[in-house]
Homo-oligomer: A and B are copies of this chain.
Amino acid sequence: MELTVYLAGQIHDHWREEVIQKAKEQNLPLTFVAPQTNHERSDRVGEDILGEQPGNVYRDDAASDINNFRTEVLMQKSDIVIALFGETYKQWNTAMDATTAINMNKPTIIIRPKSLVHPLKELANKANVTVETIDQALETISYIFE
């Protein structure tokens, strides 16, 4: 049984590569999909495709059209969603993606550092599993194959 995992969350560091590398080392039968991780391209994709927009609000809205489209296609193809929250950014799109996954009955794992326990408590409460590290998330998925 092959499973597809959507990796929601921040695109400012290389956590996805770590997940993918570790899953490979453990020979887990997983395919990973994700949002655009080139931050600049992600912010600019609306104008890249639709042409210059009249200011930041419209530029951001155009980019969101394209990014939400991509997320919707790929999340519908996924069996599991991992959503990682880091300490720096607002990450409301991550909260939105995790919530949408939960509402679609996609089994969902949240990864967040201890420092974020309090602000993430309601969402952690709704997710299937909440952990602190990438290793714990992969252990949770690997448990399916035991």
Name the one of B74, B119, B125, B144 contacting A90, with C-beta atoms under 8 angstroms.
Answer: B119
A27, CB-defined interface residue at 8 Å: no
**CB closest residue in chain B, given A37:** B146
Q: How far is the CA of A139 from the CA of B66 in the complex (A)?
A: 10
A139 near B54: Cβ-Cβ < 8 Å:
no
**Binary contact readout A31-48 vs B (1 if CB under 8 angstroms, 0 otherwise):** 101001010010001001
A45 near B143: Cβ-Cβ < 8 Å:
yes
Residues of B within 8 A of A68 (CB): 122, 125-126, 128
**Binary contact readout A102-146 vs B (1 if CB under 8 angstroms, 0 otherwise):** 011101010000001111111111101111000010011001101
Residues of A participating in the B interface, judged by any CB pair closer than 8 Å: 1, 3, 31, 33, 36, 38, 41, 45, 48-50, 54-58, 60-61, 63-70, 72-74, 76-77, 79-80, 85, 89-93, 95-96, 98-100, 103-105, 107, 109, 116-126, 128-131, 136, 139-140, 143-144, 146
The 6 A-B pairs at the shortest CB distance, nearest first, are namely A54-B54, A64-B125, A95-B95, A99-B99, A90-B119, A60-B121
